[in-house]
Structure 1
Amino acid sequence: MTIPDRNPLTTKNPNPQGKGLVPVLAHWHALRPRGAAAKGPTEIILDLFASTLVLSARCDLRPVPGQRYYLYGADNGWRLSLVSPEEWGERAPGDCLGPCWLREDMTWALQAEEALAANPGLCARVAALVQDFLERLDVAGPLAEQLPGYRRDLPYYRRLLAAGLGASLRQSLAAAGAGHADARETLRLGAAGLRQLALTAPQQAGEHATIGNEEDTLS
């Protein structure tokens, strides 16, 4: 849900970094999770990976649910942009991993199959990220404690989005009756779905690498 442009809470914001209670509450209202549903281990792992990857990117705008964005990988990190590769042309900030969008529940979906199939270097980079993600999640203790939260070291909107993502996945775990699920056990049950995206060999015929719910696509 977006906040109307003429909303007095968001126009004339003298503090773009979010200091001050009123703008923070307004932005959190716009970015808090809605409709978080019960999810199994595979969907939790996929959503967590895709979302943390997108949230690691530099972002100079406030993401809006349902809006199409593009994730670019450059030498100095990832960047989220409204501008498509065709619009960027030769000025693109890096290799485009694919379009992505923010769902109402504050998780991100990412369509990466075409880019990974066509770009071995980008494929290897994402495969390394997958491996690092799986290793970091392979710990004892509740999965809920490993989910993102409010971090003051992040830029303002990424800070709110990370908090929203963690809240959303906790709600989904609770709705599935898995609020106290063990991180290592969830990883064991759900990691196969991430590995089966064929991130390390997408050039093989018939393989895909769509990160997110395949039914949850933009029209």
Structure 2
Amino acid sequence: MKPNSEDKLRLEELKSLIQLHSYKYHVLDAPEILDSEYDLLFRELLFLESKFPDLVSKNSPTQRVGMKPAEGFKKITHDSPMLSLDNAFSSKDLKDFHRRVKERLAEELELYYCCELKLDGVAVNLFYKDGKFDKAATRGDGSTGEDITHNIRTLSSVPLILSEENSDYKVPSSLEVRGEVFIRTKDFRLVNKEAIKKGRKIFANPRNAAAGSLRQLD
């Protein structure tokens, strides 16, 4: 099937919209639409590209994970690509996921799933050398992220030294730990309350607060 002019126009429109909102979300930390609205745009683009594969370009948002690191930050290259998780919007999506998992298993097994609430924060990669915290980076575009080492050091929940005490495992000489930096809703409200008192700009949401705090240059 060949795309018509309307298909081509819509595809270009979707790419522009997604690129714009990705920039506002990942670089400016100032999202203008809900995550669910962004996901719908992204899924529509995926649908059109799967329907018309000849229209897929290397610069399409579907071929990237996040955004290029912002100017002003040093760059850190991930040892292996730092990818993101896909979304599921319906029971069919979940069943398709289950089918793909079973197809990739070497043998027939009964599967169990553990579900948890999504923590909406900032994906980070922590690098340890010989058990000592070395550096930290944002996801960035999946290959290269922003150096946020200094700010990560301020988080008391991040260990600066990995201990082997009371553990059956030996700390490897090189280790990457990937996770999510987030702020609790009650703490987010306190931060905004304090900002209002001091006449400062408030954060739009907890994710925005976490990202903005991590990406302070000073």
Q: TM-score, normalised by structure 1?
A: 0.27
Q: TM-score, normalised by structure 2?
A: 0.27
* Higher RCO structure (Cα 8 Å, ≥6 apart): 1
Choose 1 or 2 for highest CA Rg.
2
